[in-house]
Amino acid sequence: MILFEFFQEVWHNNIRHLPLIGQLTCGFLAFTCLPLLVSVVSISVCILVPMRIISKFTTKWCTCKNRMDGKTVLLTGATSGIGYEAALDLARRGARLILPVRNMEKGKTVSSTISRLTGNKNINLKFMDLANLDSVREFCQSLVAEEARIDVLINNAGNAPWEKVIDITDDGLEYQMASNYFGHFLMTNLIIDLMKNAAPSRIINMGSKVHWRSTDLDMDNLNFQRGDAGYWKIYGASKLCMMLFTKELSRKLEDDGVVVNTMHPGVVDTPIYDRQPTYIRLLLWIPRKILFRSPKEGAQTLIHLAVAPEVQNISGKYFVDCKESSWYSCVVEDTGMAKRLWKKSCELVQLQEKDLRI
């Protein structure tokens, strides 16, 4: 049924617009390639199912049972995927949640669902678009006026449009870079006093092993307006920036009782893949459903960093599968690059000296 719907979509969006000879050619290729497709699918299932069984047994789960009563957690990207599963878990532990969302209607639905499933009504839904600096500033101004402290900040939200065209925001920032990194950088700086007020407190930044694709980061071209960069290159750059940000922020906060760590969730089946071109969605459909981790599995390291007592005094580190990992690019350890990125980021998000609290 799913394959039928897929080919229906291909026909509607692509093939029906071809001239008759093109339609006949596509039909011939589909007919002659069908046995090959069936063989590929069968072989893939035979290989991937055992791999998924192994993955199920090797996935690390957060074993900490600590409650979060009296704790305030700010979590971005909570309307789907890893963020939703993390919000659900933390709500079950009694945490008070602040969920900034771009789509308020979707946010209200998610908030109601979390409250219904956990019995936790202490969820504060607020509007914020991470790709819009004015929106981030307005959110932070409101938050500082209303809140006295934030115990855990989880910079989880991420975007991967998958288009090859560079999309520049009204602030002059590349869209992925703005959503995944610059928005979080600005927000964290503007609310850092709330984190200090809650010390010992924690900041968790979402990284990724994809950062390896962008280790040649150009500080003068962070928005990719020069050269030819694909979406993986930009996505990797946004994650490398988050990891360098983690290192420098950890250094700046080492005497303030605020720890900062980053993590890789694994390869997770989240809605981020639904935005891919049709042919990639077809190629990845079986691996996604069989081999990729579920969002709940992908959220485990994030939850571990938010609640586990053994990481309270660990800062500036990279975690995979609920444990510290050293498997990352040596660029992440480049203190000079981290400092240059910090300075350039302040410039690009127009963070004034009077705004800095670190």
Q: Burial level of 251, CB count in 10 A (0-12/13-18/19+)? A: middle
The active-site residue, picked from 235, 273, 318, 328, is 235
Rounded Cα distance between 224 and 168, Å, is 9
Residue 273 annotated among the catalytic residues of the structure: no
What does the alpha-carbon distance between residue 160 and residue 178 come to, in Å, rounded to a whole number? Answer: 11
Q: Which long-range contacts (CB under 8 A, 24 or more apart) does 341-346 make?
A: 341/217, 341/219, 341/241, 341/244, 341/245, 341/248, 342/245, 342/248, 344/219, 344/222, 345/181, 345/182, 345/185, 345/241, 345/245
Tokens describing residue 39: 């063989």
* Residues 234, 213: Cα–Cα separation, whole Å: 9
Distance of alpha carbon 158 from alpha carbon 267, whole angstroms: 14
The pair of three-digit structure tokens given for residue 31, joined into one six-digit string: 């007919």
Nearest Cα neighbor of 73 from 157, 205, 250, 195 is 195
Give the whole-angstrom CA distance, residue 165 versus residue 230.
8
| Chain length of the chain | 358
Question: Which residue is listed with tokens 């690059």?
Answer: 337
Question: Encoding tokens for residue 260?
Answer: 């900062």
> How many CB atoms within 10 Å of residue 82?
30
How far is it, in rounded angstroms, from Cα 169 to Cα 285? 31
E strand spans, 235-321: 258-264, 318-320
Q: Which of 89, 216, 223, 230 is nearest to 154 (CA)?
A: 89
Q: Which residues are catalytic?
A: 235
